[in-house]
Amino acid sequence: MLKYVVVDDEPLALEILDSYLEKIDHVHSVFLFSNAGDALRHLQDHRADVLLLDIEMPEMTGIQFLKTLADPPVTVFITAYRNYAFEGYELGVIDFLLKPIPFKRFEQAISKIKEFLLLKAQYDHAEELLSDKSTDFIFVKSGVQRIKLYFNEVTHIQGLKDYAIIYTSKEKILLKGSIKAMLDIFPPKRFVRVHKSFIVSINKITRLESNRIILSGQEIPIGRNFKDDLEQVLSAR
């Protein structure tokens, strides 16, 4: 059940969108705003799942409105002008509806939203499982092989352009993927990035110095931009 916020300075457009949402079965609540300022104040204090946002508004355009939100809901731009589509997608909107909006086209946008939120929920759940200490391993692809990788055997990960070297207590494993992509694989409660090219296992750290980490006989540099995050992670344990 989703919470919708609709922002459009045209009363008729608001009425039509409201009537369309009444026909959608997963809607929990709908908040209608003809004024961008009122909508902003609402979003500062209330969570919304979906934002249906007009672009051409007198006080503030929908593009300006969206840029003010630090963590915007899933957003659909609504306008009578095609020329905004590219900028809308640059801002990460999920769909772009042209007025007048046929209900069938509106349903397509809603289906796209539901599919995206379902996938996101599944991804978030997978992330939670990875963060859970009860999850001990993951399968990774190295060349044509799929290798069962136990997290407690990994000491650190080194990034080399589009590849990553996984160092374990037994071997080295080469994976296709950037060091940033590795952050999506390894549980954040167990691993921390300490340098633009290195992620380390927190449990394998034996000594911490001003600009380096010692673990399993290896010296790993600490990047200046990562010191604060490292200190925060270690102080929380």
* 120 pLDDT more than 80: no
- Structure confidence by residue, pLDDT tens digits, 105-115: 999 999 999 98
pLDDT of residue 133: 47
Higher pLDDT, 181 or 77: 77
Task: State whether 115 and 6 are in the same domain.
Answer: yes
What's the per-residue H, E or C state across 86-112?
HHHHHCCCCEEEECCCCHHHHHHHHHH
Task: State whether 101 and 156 are in the same domain.
Answer: no
* 129 pLDDT more than 50: yes
Residue 172 Cα to chain centre, angstroms: 30
Domain limits for position 176: 137-235
**33, 39 contact by CB (below 8 A):** yes
**Residues β-bridged to residue 95:** 76
Mean pLDDT of 26-47: 94
Task: State whether 57 and 155 are in the same domain.
Answer: no
Which of 80, 113, 130 terminates a domain? The answer is 130
Task: State whether 76 and 108 are in the same domain.
Answer: yes
What distance in Å separates the CA atoms of residue 130 and residue 127, rounded to the nearest whole number?
Answer: 5
Q: What is the pTM of this model?
A: 0.56
